[in-house]
A and B are shown apart, each in its own frame.
Chain A
Amino acid sequence: MTILDKLAAEPTTPSQEAHIENHSRRRFLQGVAGLTLAIYLPGGARAATPASSTGPLFEPNAFLRIGVDNSVTVIAKHLEMGQGTHTGLATVLAEELDAAWEQVKVEGAPADARRYNNLLWGSVQGTGGSTAMANSWEQMRRAGAMGRAMLVGAAAQKWRVPAAGITVADGVVSHPASGRRATFGELAQAAAEQPLPAEVRLKSPQEFKLIGRHVPRKDSAEKVKGTAIFTQDVHLPGMLTAVVAHPPRFGARLKRFDAAKTKAVKGVVDVVAVPSGVAVLAKDTWSARKGRDALVVEWDEASGYQGSSENIFARYREMAQKPGSIARKDGDPEAVFAGAAKVLKAAYDFPYLAHAAMEPLDCVVKLSADGCEIWNGEQMQTLDQAKVAELLGLEPEQVKLHMLYAGGSFGRRASKHADYVLEAVHIARAIGGKAPVKLVWLREDDMQAGYYRPAFHHVLEAAIDAEGRLLGWRHRLVGQSINADSPMSGLMKDGIDLTSVEGAATLPYDIPNLVVDLHTPQDVGVPVLWWRSVGSTHTAYSTEAFLDEVAAAMGQDPVRLRLELLKKHPRHAAVLRLAAEKAGWGTPLPPGKPGERRGRGVAVHESFRSCVAQVAEVTVQADGSLKVDRIVAAVDCGIAINPDNVRSQVEGSVGFALSALLYGAITLEGGQVQQSNFHDYALLRINEMPEVEVHILASAAPPTGIGEPGVPPVAPAVANAIAAATGKRLRRLPIDPAELKA
């Protein structure tokens, strides 16, 4: 008997209206009022029907709802976790609909793999890999264009005029010849009766009015007012807040616990064991935390992780002595290295990194007799839904997801094992579903519970011949696979996780003899996960820092050498040229104050099908402390749907990447994570933020990613600038200022 059968058998709790009680935003879950125009896309090959607020509103691929109140609601299948996806999706749809931007609202879609799957991910609904705009571009344009065609059809019928004479602009449908006009709202009901257009015409880029212009973010106002609802902010009637005692090391198990003192804490309601630890449930977060502090727990630590970062790197260095699985091989690198006039070699270490989003992980769960409701900023909607359903013995449709904003994620909420979501469900089940549960991870839990950017060790070698030509390149990587035990295991090819070698095996430089190989250590015992820009977080650094070293050894200018090697990669070359030009590459840097050393460095990298080049300017003090003064970036991300958001993402990426370069390290000792909060896992602060200048390459190609591609070039550009200033090549991240002392 599942918990839900049990709940059905003993209806002890009065059914509770699932509305969020929240003084910041009371109207949160109000129903949809009025008639709406439901747009069906091919696949749901039938006409749209007016939907009432009770019936099933939309069938396959429903992205648009027009209310009689003249509101245009865009249904966003992607999570808004900061990257502007809601605004971007709405912009693309509103463009083809010819809506007025002010009338557009955005609503998170429910979980539904059939209607809301990521078109680049097959049947999975989820947000990641900077794919939101790339996969939705055509889909959202068609959704908007169909809406427009049906509004025009309705107007033509009503006014008895040919559709060809009707124009639409700024949310108003007009027939200039007769002077008739109507708003979308006035036509919504009639438009819903229109047949689905067989074909729609999409605009040519010259006709765009919203795409490529500045449109304000849809989420600004409520985020500025503090009324935007994050999972952390959800209050349901009767809800309990759970804080969990996790084992002190990965893989350790619960031996026993004594909750006597915990239960004596005012506000604590229950203490339950779950597979991931011991949950303390209380009326509020602070009581739950105090209750957890009072908990006496004994863990079976022998079964847990016992290693350390030092052991891990020692093992990786050892593994790097032998060839790994080949990810790419061109020409005859062995012969070229054997006959080289000069061979350069460098090894790099990259630590584990925590995502450390400002909103620590959290999830709200409410069980009922016939299902389960989840409130969360979900990054992997349908995968999490399926896992929850499996755990509860339900059909996926019985797991209802309410999409909220996520206070950052950077990959952490794309949990490959649904860890925190399932933990919340386990807790709700352990108390027999008697109350909705809000699971809250305190910052320390978030920092220590794993799922880090994997640690990596790289070894690079370059072969230069007697004429000073770069003829050979060897790149060996050692690090855990993110995808092997994930639902994305399809990204494994012949034992090689493509995300481990992305940016390395895809090196764009024209070097005739090249080999990239990979060791994937098994059973390391530290859980790893996608982290903003994934493999490129380390491959961009090692390849771009090493190429800079090679340029120096060859006596070549780093920009000129790259351009020389990028003849077959015009997008890379174009952003590199633009960034170099805007940064004044080749002109002398204004000198610093006495004792200061200044330098300029460059890097270019492609990730998520976008190319970004950056030039960094740094000042290094005599004591080794460092200030990044300026980053000049050039970006090719296809059509920039919202150029201001492209700039904003690149600015933010600079801050994100600098945190990792300057401070980021999760280290393990005696099996335990050493960091716990922002005092020992520091993030960049405003006084350390450089000026950022972003230049966008004009493009007519469909949009590619922008949430992540700004990250990879930052660290190598800065490292190359440091080398220009000090002559020191930094091979171990994060930077140790002691290495930079004058």
Chain B
Amino acid sequence: MPTLDINGKPIRVDEAPDTPLLWVLRDTLRLTGTKYSCGMGLCGACTVHVDGQPVRSCITPIAAAAGKKIVTIEGVGESRAARVAQAVEEAWRRLDVVQCGYCQPGQIMSAVALLEENPRPTDADIDAAMAGNLCRCGTYVRIRAAIHEAAKSLA
């Protein structure tokens, strides 16, 4: 029975070890900010941080996440990445990035991970870090602008 460290809390779950982390988060723990969209690692809607790295939770079995620090959109504002997360969320709100909003928790988790590692990303850095996150509403222009804006506010 694996124990998961989610948003700083140890949580025992009794799902099979090959169960994708996504469904444990969403259905068992009801942390529904992390979204399901493709289930195949193709869209990034399910992005969470595992030991600070952006990870597709839909293709991450809980066995692979056990013993590591898992952070979801619900906890990122109080995580080690809190300062960056707050700047990113603020920029997202200021620029009204969202449309339907369904992809946005995943976008934000990827953006926070990018800025944690690279405080002044170029457009090419943004392309590389964010190309795994689909947005059907096409909010990409604003995602790019919001990442630059968050970077500026953190400088």
Q: Do A and B bind each other?
A: yes
Contact between A442 and B39 (Cβ–Cβ < 8 Å)? Answer: yes
Please report the C-alpha to C-alpha distance between residue A375 and residue B28 in the assembled complex, in whole angstroms. 20
Contact between A648 and B99 (Cβ–Cβ < 8 Å)? Answer: yes
Please report the C-alpha to C-alpha distance between residue A219 and residue B29 in the assembled complex, in whole angstroms. 24
Per the 8 Å Cβ criterion, residues 2-41 of B in contact with A are 15-16, 19-20, 23, 26-40
Contacts of A235 in B (CB 8 A): 27, 30, 32
Contact between A358 and B131 (Cβ–Cβ < 8 Å)? Answer: no
Closest beta carbon of chain B to A452's beta carbon, Å? 15
Residue total for A at the interface (Cβ-Cβ under 8 A)? 65
Contacts of A359 in B (CB 8 A): 35, 37, 100, 102
Contacts of B133 in A (CB 8 A): 686
**Does B51 sit at the interface, judged by CB under 8 A?**
no
Which of chain A's residues has its CB closest to B107's CB? A686
**Does B68 sit at the interface, judged by CB under 8 A?**
no
Residue of B100, B134, B139 near A685 (CB, 8 A) is: B134
**Does B42 sit at the interface, judged by CB under 8 A?**
yes
Q: Give the dominant DSSP class at A's interface.
A: loop
Contacts of B15 in A (CB 8 A): 286
Contacts of B142 in A (CB 8 A): 648, 651
Per the 8 Å Cβ criterion, residues 181-235 of A in contact with B are 216-217, 219-221, 223-230, 232-233, 235
A357/B101 contact (C-beta < 8 A), A407-B35, A692-B141 known = no
A232/B27 contact (C-beta < 8 A), A226-B105, A651-B141, A655-B138 known = no
Residue of A241, A286, A685 near B131 (CB, 8 A) is: A685
**Does B82 sit at the interface, judged by CB under 8 A?**
no
Which of chain B's residues has its CB closest to A694's CB? B141
Contact between A648 and B96 (Cβ–Cβ < 8 Å)? Answer: yes
Binary contact readout A281-296 vs B (1 if CB under 8 angstroms, 0 otherwise):
0011110000000000
Please report the C-alpha to C-alpha distance between residue A83 and residue B143 in the assembled complex, in whole angstroms. 17
Closest beta carbon of chain B to A614's beta carbon, Å? 14
Contact between A216 and B93 (Cβ–Cβ < 8 Å)? Answer: yes
Contact between B32 and A443 (Cβ–Cβ < 8 Å)? Answer: no
Contacts of A21 in B (CB 8 A): 30
Per the 8 Å Cβ criterion, residues 112-135 of B in contact with A are 126-128, 130-135
**Does A705 sit at the interface, judged by CB under 8 A?**
no
Which of chain B's residues has its CB closest to A25's CB? B32
Contacts of B43 in A (CB 8 A): 358, 678
Contacts of A408 in B (CB 8 A): 99-100, 102, 136-137
**Does A653 sit at the interface, judged by CB under 8 A?**
yes
**Does B65 sit at the interface, judged by CB under 8 A?**
no
Contacts of A283 in B (CB 8 A): 27
Contact between B136 and A23 (Cβ–Cβ < 8 Å)? Answer: no
Q: Give the dominant DSSP class at B's interface.
A: loop
Contacts of A691 in B (CB 8 A): 141
Contact between A284 and B28 (Cβ–Cβ < 8 Å)? Answer: yes
**Does A677 sit at the interface, judged by CB under 8 A?**
yes
Per the 8 Å Cβ criterion, residues 73-103 of B in contact with A are 73-74, 77, 89, 92-93, 96-103
Contact between B33 and A677 (Cβ–Cβ < 8 Å)? Answer: no
Per the 8 Å Cβ criterion, residues 397-437 of A in contact with B are 405-410
Contacts of A645 in B (CB 8 A): 96
Contacts of B30 in A (CB 8 A): 21-24, 235
Please report the C-alpha to C-alpha distance between residue A358 and residue B46 in the assembled complex, in whole angstroms. 11
**Does B45 sit at the interface, judged by CB under 8 A?**
yes
Contact between A652 and B138 (Cβ–Cβ < 8 Å)? Answer: yes
Which of chain A's residues has its CB closest to B94's CB? A216
Please report the C-alpha to C-alpha distance between residue A648 and residue B30 in the assembled complex, in whole angstroms. 31
A679/B73 contact (C-beta < 8 A), A266-B16, A407-B100, A686-B130 known = no
Please report the C-alpha to C-alpha distance between residue A230 and residue B32 in the assembled complex, in whole angstroms. 9
**Does A473 sit at the interface, judged by CB under 8 A?**
no
Contact between B74 and A226 (Cβ–Cβ < 8 Å)? Answer: yes
Please report the C-alpha to C-alpha distance between residue A257 and residue B105 in the assembled complex, in whole angstroms. 39
Closest beta carbon of chain B to A40's beta carbon, Å? 33
Closest beta carbon of chain A to B87's beta carbon, Å? 12
Contact between B93 and A220 (Cβ–Cβ < 8 Å)? Answer: yes
Contacts of A683 in B (CB 8 A): 134, 136
Please report the C-alpha to C-alpha distance between residue A285 and residue B34 in the assembled complex, in whole angstroms. 14
**Does A259 sit at the interface, judged by CB under 8 A?**
no
Please report the C-alpha to C-alpha distance between residue A501 and residue B42 in the assembled complex, in whole angstroms. 36
**Does A84 sit at the interface, judged by CB under 8 A?**
yes
Please report the C-alpha to C-alpha distance between residue A81 and residue B144 in the assembled complex, in whole angstroms. 22
Please report the C-alpha to C-alpha distance between residue A24 and residue B103 in the assembled complex, in whole angstroms. 16
Contacts of B93 in A (CB 8 A): 216, 220-221, 224
Q: Of residues A24, A81, A358, A679, which shows the largest number of chain B Cβ atoms within 10 Å of its Cβ?
A: A358
Binary contact readout B133-155 vs A (1 if CB under 8 angstroms, 0 otherwise):
11111111111100000000000
Contact between B37 and A687 (Cβ–Cβ < 8 Å)? Answer: no
Contact between A679 and B40 (Cβ–Cβ < 8 Å)? Answer: yes
Please report the C-alpha to C-alpha distance between residue A649 and residue B40 in the assembled complex, in whole angstroms. 29
Closest beta carbon of chain B to A473's beta carbon, Å? 33
A689/B138 contact (C-beta < 8 A), A226-B34, A443-B40 known = yes
Please report the C-alpha to C-alpha distance between residue A409 and residue B99 in the assembled complex, in whole angstroms. 11
Contact between A227 and B141 (Cβ–Cβ < 8 Å)? Answer: no
Q: Of residues B23, B135, B142, which shows the largest number of chain A Cβ atoms within 10 Å of its Cβ?
A: B135
Closest beta carbon of chain A to B57's beta carbon, Å? 12
Contact between B45 and A358 (Cβ–Cβ < 8 Å)? Answer: yes
Contact between B99 and A652 (Cβ–Cβ < 8 Å)? Answer: yes
Contact between A678 and B38 (Cβ–Cβ < 8 Å)? Answer: yes
Q: A224-B104, A686-B131, A687-B128 are in contact. List 5 more A-B contacts (CB 8 A).
A: A223-B104, A224-B89, A226-B32, A226-B72, A686-B140
Q: Which residues in A have some Cβ–Cβ distance to B below 8 Å? A: 21-24, 81-84, 216-217, 219-221, 223-230, 232-233, 235, 241, 266, 283-286, 356-360, 405-410, 442-443, 644-645, 648-649, 651-656, 659, 677-679, 683-687, 689, 691-692
- A–B pairs, 28, beta carbons within 8 Å: A23-B74, A82-B137, A220-B96, A226-B104, A232-B36, A233-B26, A286-B15, A357-B100, A358-B37, A359-B100, A360-B37, A644-B96, A645-B96, A648-B99, A649-B99, A651-B141, A652-B99, A652-B139, A653-B138, A655-B135, A656-B136, A656-B137, A677-B40, A678-B43, A683-B134, A685-B134, A686-B143, A692-B141
